[in-house]
Each structure stands twice: as structure tokens, then as C-alpha cells.
Amino acid sequence: MNKPIRRLAFFAMVLFGVLLVNVTYIQVFQGEALREHPFNGRQYANQLTQPRGPILVGSEEVAFSEPLGEKEDDKYQRKYPAGGLYAHLIGTFPVRGEGIETRQNALLEGSDERLVVRNFIDSITGKEHQGASVELTLSPKAQEAAQAGFEELGKNGAAVALDPETGAVLAAYSNPTFDPNEVSSVTDAEAANKAWTDYEGDENKPLLNRALNERYPPGSTFKLVTAAAALEDGATPESTMDAPETLNLGAPLPNAWGGPCNGGQPDTLAHSIEQSCNTSFANWAIELGADKMTEQAEKFGFNGEDMAIPLPVTGSLYPREEDRNVLGRSGIGQANVESTPLQMAMVAAGIANDGDVMKPYLVDSVKDSDLSEIEGHTPETLSTAVSAKTAEDLTQMMILVTEGAEASGPGGAIPGMQVAGKTGTAETDSGPTHNWFVSFAPADDPQVAVAVVVEHGGGSGGTLAAPIAKRIMEAVIDQ
């Protein structure tokens, strides 16, 4: 064999070796992922000929499969009777973006290993293949109240409601929303793809789950965290702090009404919460310092690891600030503080739950087609943010926000019931203010904790967000 032929043979052997290694890698390490990939055409075609399990809210099926014909190999169409009400949470099939349809796909389509035995028995007995059903923790009335509140207001934003004792997500609504039926057509895939593309290009971002994945400056709702740090550090609701008309933090920091908070005298912690005093809380943050402020924020869940409920949740941020001016502004939820609505609902829920922050969860149970439970949920404590005594002090101060003589959030009050609340109006670099309200009720026996943010509302949290929060709280308590 001459030299050129030897080189050619060696080169061919190298190529063959590379090909062999690549094929082995794909078969051994990527085979399952490729089989399960949502863009696997064969996988998708198989899924269309089998009914997926339903997704339920209460006893209502909010996603189910409907046959398009009577033949055995006819396809199934996924239906979403509630339109956009649960769209960001349940997602779509074909799976696009995040949602229960994506996160629980193996269970819904029946390929999860926990369904293997039942599928085998069904194949022997000739029964139709059926995926598992997924029951969510949501309250239909609370979700509807959130949607109605935003649609009547005509603003973008989000609302989250939690069961403070368990962490169950009772509502998580994001406005604007989208209709999953428009992007799920089996018979007209081209129209479905166009509808999805149109949603993606919409400047109002209807596909964005603002409740879980959008961060906003929390504004004065963050004063609850600062107050918690002060109380844990030994302060009481009657402890005072200088509360002038403006505070020099590089640039003047005024109060919302342009005057001092207590007639020019040092203001109590309780009154500063009631009136939402900027200057006193900026002073509290500076006095507590970066370490204590950061530690308290992290106990409520800021700066935490990525979380899934099982939908992915964007982390909220409280950067450790050494600069006095930035630290002071961080104490009122400005500067570099960013929070999702879910995170602020967790703050309210932690206070409502005697200081324990529960890990939020959206799936209550997964059941086989014979209704046997495959997967349940046991509530988990995420952290102990404050002591029970601090939680009680914060609760009493928050009641002043809805009932006090100088209450900043009376719009969140419910007649005949004490509501603990906190307003927030956050300055932004991108337009009018964001407007917040966080709350829980009844204050002496909390059943629901809520956070509402009205995106670029341009008003106050007490007038724009509090009425929506009130509506959600009433929906949970009255059901």
C-alpha cells in the first residue's frame, strides 16, 4: 500500500471512529431527551392520537382532550374552556413556553414511568390509553376576581394569592393574557403558529407570566422587610426615627405628600408603616446596616436559589448595599431592589403565618385514570423569616394601613373584618409609577395573603392595587 492510500485509509478510519462515538453518544445519553422533546415530530404525532389527562381547578376541567372523529386513529384536540383565565399557568398543547402542560407533560400524556403498569394492563384489556389528571391548588373565584379587577382597571400587572399556612397558590393571574385555544389547533397548525408568533411580537407581552417571572421595584411594600429587620434587632412598634420632610441621599428623598411624617418630630415605626413614611424608613435601613437588611430580606426569600412550583419562578433581588445613599433607598424598596409579585405575596404570607414562609406550590395532586393518587403534596417550610412576636407586631401595624386615622390603604379594607395591608408606589426609569398592595385577611386568622402590582399605573397602591387585592381576599374568604 503506497503512502497516499495509507493516509486516505487512516483518515477514513478516523471519520468512522468519530461517527461511531457520536452515534453512541446520541443513543446512550441523548436518546430519551430526543424522544421526549416537544419538537420530535413522531412523538408529537403519537401524542395527537391519544387523549391527554385533564388539568383541573376544583372540580372543573380547565384543559382536556376532545376527539376530532370516531375512528381509532383519529386525533384529539386540546380544549381550554376558560380561555385566558389560567393561560399562563396551564400553558398550551402542543407545548409552547412554560406551563403545567409542559412541566407535567409525561404524566399528562401517560409516558411517566409511574404509569407503566397501568398502561400495560390497559393494552391487555383493550382499554384506551389515558394520561394522568393534574389538579391545581387554584381557587376559581380568586382567579376570576383577579382577572375582573385588572380588566376593569384596564392596566397591565399581576396578582398572586397564597394560603399562608400551606403555601398553596390560590391565584396567580397575569394581565394581559392570551387564549390557549388560538395556538393549539390540530386541524389548522398554520393558524395556530401564526397566532403564537403574533403573541410573541405583541409589545404588551401577553405571553409573559408577570406573576412569577417579572421583577418590579417593590416600593413601599418592602418597608415590611425593613420594619421586620428593625423589630428583630430589638426595636418595638413605638421605637422612633427621624422622619424629616426630605432626606439627602445623594439626591433629595421626599415623602409622598411633601411634608414630614410626624409634624417634624421623630416618628414611631407603627405610624411610619401606617402613613408609609419614606424618610424614616430610609433612616432605619441606614441605621440597621447592609448586613442586617440583607439577612432579613434573604429570610423572606430574596436572593434565593431558583424555585419551581413546578413552573419556574424568577428570583427576587436585594443586593447587599454598602453605599449609604443606596442602602437608604433600598429600605423603601427602591435603588436595586427587585421583586416578583409572588415574592411579595410570600412576605405577606410569612407575616400572616407567625413568621414561617411556606414554599409555594401549584399542583395539589396527580391522579391515575382510576383516581388513585400518584403524587400528592406535603407543605414545606421555606424559612422562618421572623419570630412570632415580630409577626404579631407587624400584623398590628399593617392593620393601621387599612384602618388607621392616617391610613394609606383604606381601599383594601373589608367591612366587618380586620385586614392587614401595606401600600407601595414604586418609581421607575421606564414610565409612570408601579402601584402595589400586599395584604392578608382576616388579620386574626389569616386565610389568604395577596400581592397585587399594577404596572405603570401612575397612581397610588392604595387606590389602584388595593381594590383588586380586596376583591381577591373576599373571593377566597367567601367561598
Q: What is the pLDDT of residues 115-170, one digit of tens each?
A: 877 777 777 776 777 889 999 999 999 999 999 999 999 999 999 999 999 999 99
Band (24; pLDDT cuts 50, 70, 90): low
Inside any domain, residue 443: yes
Q: In the prediction, which pLDDT does 124 show? A: 73
How far apart are the C-alpha atoms of 114 and 117, rounded to whole Å?
7
Instruction: Quickly tell me which residue has 396527580 as its cell.
Output: 366
Q: Among the listed ranges 34-38, 274-278, 456-460, which one has the minimum average pLDDT value?
A: 34-38
Task: Tell me the three state secondary structure of residue 367.
Answer: strand
C-alpha cell, 215 = 421583577
Lowest mean pLDDT among 24-38, 81-95, 377-391: 24-38
pLDDT at residue 41, rounded to an integer: 58
Instruction: Using alpha carbons, select from 93, 60, 88, 89 the residue that is nearest to residue 78.
Output: 93
- The answer to whether residue 78 is domain-embedded is no
* Reported confidence tier of residue 30, pLDDT bands at 50, 70, 90: low
**Is residue 267 domain-resident?**
yes
pLDDT at 358 over 80: yes
* Per-residue pLDDT at 414: 97
Residue found under cell 439626591: 251
Of 224, 447, 467, 446, nearest to 343 (Cα)?
A: 224
In a domain, residue 67? The reply is no
Query: CA 145 to CA 136: how far, in whole Å?
Result: 17
Q: Would 281 be classed as within a structural domain?
A: yes
268 confidence band (pLDDT: 50, 70, 90): very high
pLDDT of residue 322: 92
For residue 242, count other CB atoms closer than 10 A to its CB.
Answer: 18
| Residue-wise DSSP of 223-245 | HHHHHHHHHHTT--TT-EE---S
CATH number of the structural domain spanning residue 249: 3.40.710.10
State mean pLDDT over 352-376. 93
- Contact indicator for 339, 451 with CB cutoff of 8 Å: no
The mean of the pLDDT values for the chain is 91
Whole-angstrom distance, CA of residue 443 vs CA of residue 352? 7
C-alpha cell recorded at residue 443: 388579620
> What are the start-end ranges of the H helices in 126-277?
140-153, 189-201, 210-213, 223-232, 269-275
Split into its structural domains, the chain has a count of: 1
User: What does DSSP assign to residue 317?
Assistant: B
DSSP 3-state of 70 = coil
pLDDT (tens digit per residue) in 68-101: 877 766 789 999 999 999 999 999 998 888 999 9
pLDDT given for residue 122 in this prediction: 73
The dihedral built from the CA positions of residue 458, 462, 467 and 469, taken in this order, carries a sign that is positive
Please tell me whether the overall predicted TM-score, pTM, comes out greater than 0.85 for this model.
yes
Domain-embedded: residue 124: no
Q: What is the pLDDT of residues 34-48, one digit of tens each?
A: 555 555 555 566 677
Closest among 467, 479, 470 to 416, alpha carbons compared: 470
- Among 248, 254, 293, 257, residue whose Cα is nearest residue 275: 257
Indicate the residue type of 397.
M
The SS3 call for residue 311 is coil
Which pLDDT belongs to residue 127? 72
Instruction: Give the pLDDT of residue 120.
Output: 73
In the prediction, which pLDDT does 372 show?
85
User: Which is it for the CA torsion 210, 215, 221, 226, positive or negative?
Assistant: positive
Which of 213, 205, 218 has its CA nearest to residue 434? 218
- Residue 25, pLDDT above cutoff 70: no
Q: How far apart are CA 167 and CA 379, in angstroms?
A: 7
C-alpha cell, 45: 404525532
Q: Which residues pair with 367 in a beta bridge?
A: 133, 373
Region of poorest pLDDT, from 95-109, 207-221, 336-350: 95-109
C-alpha–C-alpha distance, residues 364 and 58, integer Å:
10
CA distances from 348 to 34, 225, 301, 307, 425 (A): 42, 10, 12, 18, 17
Residues belonging to the active site? 220
- Provide the 10 A C-beta neighbour count for residue 456: 15
Q: Are strands 133-136 and 55-57 parallel, antiparallel or unpaired?
A: parallel
Q: What's the pLDDT score for residue 44? A: 62
Q: How many CB atoms lie within 10 A of CB 354?
A: 18
Flag whether 346 is in a domain.
yes
Pair 407, 400: CB distance under 8 Å: yes
259, part of any domain: yes
Encode pLDDT of 286-321 as tens digits: 999 999 999 999 999 999 988 999 999 999 999 999
Q: Which three cell numbers stand for residue 172?
A: 396567580
Tell me which of 102-111, 112-121, 257-266 is least confident.
112-121
Where in the sequence is the domain holding 330, given as residue range(s)?
220-366+378-478
Name, in order, each residue with C-beta under 8 angstroms of 351's C-beta and a sequence gap of 6 or more: 224, 228, 385, 386, 391, 394, 395, 398, 420, 440
Residue whose C-alpha cell reads 400586599 in the numeric block: 438
The pLDDT value recorded for residue 130 is 80
Which residue did the predictor score with more confidence, 430 or 244?
244
Cβ proximity of 65 and 76 under 8 Å: yes
